[in-house]
Amino acid sequence: MEDRAQALVRRMVANIYCPHPVSIIGIKDETPDIKTFTLSLKDIEQKDPFTFRPGQFVMVSVLNSGEAPISICSSPAFSEEIQLSVKKVGLLTGAMHGCNEGDEIGLRGPYGNGFPLEQLFGHNLLFVGGGIGLAPLRSLIQDALFNRSEFGHLTLLYGARTPHDMVYKDNLAAWETEKDFDVITTVYRDSPAWKGNIGPLTSLWEKAEISPYDTKAIICGHPAIVSYVLFDLLEMGFGEDDIISTLERNMKCGVGKCGHCSIGSKYTCRHGPVFTYRQIKGFPSVL
């Protein structure tokens, strides 16, 4: 079987802009404006074997609607299909919400660096996610559960605007039953049926047991949330290399050419989207 390096070389010399058609084999409504699409990779497997790591993204095309980067939210362990959670915000995502099962969309990738798994091995992991920011974390969490023995204690803090805006409710329920895995959720505005926490993500600190010295924190969510969380984690004593986050940028090519996602002399699509706080801090403030 082809290894990662070989696959990379092959893809580097192929036409980097031309997507593969893949069919949608499942659509799940997560929230009123977020759907999770399951895509079959069978058709492209022979031509372009698809392996990825959590935190990577793909470029998705829909007829006459252009292209956009979407994080993969499923586990790398399932090789025949991948899942993408899509929030309806623009032209492409809007068009995607209009797709039905059986429709084909265009796919190229995976791109980006993904989470630094090697650096996470042997540590406790703290996942902090807001809204649809749970998508790339889900891929990582599932991978961590698949290789459970490689990691210490797991903690997930997840916040959404309202209970209706929470994604992956089934997963959240299932994870709660896992051993050595604390799942704590909160909403900013409750609804009548909600019995859980109310308040911002940062109100969950005291509810979780976090030891800053042997834990790696992985944050994903809206810029505002990320800033808050980061600030608190630093105050708690987390090291700058132990905080990992992702950056969100407009992307067009996905392969470090088009310039849209450049950040300092790096490209978010190529050198990111996953960065440690130390890296992010090192970028000039001009961005």
Partner 1 sequence: MPDEVILNKEHLTGFLRKIAKERELIAPVKNIHGDTVFEVLTSVDDISLDLDMKPVMSPKNFFLPRTEVLFNYQREGKKYRFEEVLPDVHRVFFGLRSCDLWGILFLDVVFQEHFKDRYYLNRRSNTVLINIGCHEPMPSCFCKSATSGPFLAQGYDLQFTDLGNRFFVEIGRPKGRELVEKWDYFFGPPTQQDRDEQYEVVLEAESSFDHIVDFDTATSRLMNDEVEEALWEELGNRCQSCGGCSYVCPTCYCFNIVDRAVSETKGERLRTPDACTLAGFTRLAGGHNPRHERRRRIRRRFYHKLAFAKDKYHRPSCVGCGRCVEICCGGVDMFHFIKVVCERGEKSKKVALTLGEILLNAGLISREELEAALERQLTSGKALGVQLIDDGLVTRDEIAHALSIQLGLPEMAGTGGVVGR
* Interactions with partner 1, residue window 185-204 (CB under 8 A): 199-200, 202-203
Binding of residue 57 to partner 1 (CB under 8 A):
yes
Work out which of 223, 237, 241, 278 binds partner 1, going by CB under 8 A. 223
Question: Tokens 């903690």 belong to which residue?
Answer: 155
Least separation in angstroms between residue 196's CB and partner 1 is 18
| Residue 66 vs 237, nearer CB to partner 1 | 66
Footprint of partner 1 on 225-244 (CB under 8 A): 225-228, 230-232
| Residue 98 vs 122, nearer CB to partner 1 | 98
Binding of residue 82 to partner 1 (CB under 8 A):
no
Report the distance separating Cα 269 and Cα 279, nearest Å.
15
Tokens for 78, please give them.
Answer: 């399932």
User: What is the three-class DSSP state of 92?
Assistant: helix
| Residue 214 vs 241, nearer CB to partner 1 | 241
Torsion of CA 236, 166, 136, 149, to 10 degrees: 70
Work out which of 3, 15, 47, 195 binds partner 1, going by CB under 8 A. 15
Are residues 232 and 257 in contact, defined by beta-carbon separation less than 8 angstroms? Answer: no
Of 82-90, 118-126, 152-160, 190-198, the window that binds partner 1 (rule: CB under 8 A) is: 82-90
Footprint of partner 1 on 101-140 (CB under 8 A): 102-106, 112, 129-136
| Residue 58 vs 144, nearer CB to partner 1 | 58
Pairing of strands 81-87, 34-40: antiparallel
Are residues 85 and 60 in contact, defined by beta-carbon separation less than 8 angstroms? Answer: no
Binding of residue 61 to partner 1 (CB under 8 A):
yes
Taking the alpha carbons of 19, 272, 212, 284 in that order, is the dihedral positive or negative? negative
Work out which of 89, 173, 174, 198 binds partner 1, going by CB under 8 A. 89
CA–CA distances in Å: residue 19 to residues 68, 132, 184? 12, 25, 39
Q: Going residue by residue from 150 to 189, which x/- string records binding to partner 1, judged by CB under 8 A?
A: ----------------------------------------
Report the distance separating Cα 187 and Cα 160, nearest Å.
5
Report the distance separating Cα 272 and Cα 73, nearest Å.
17
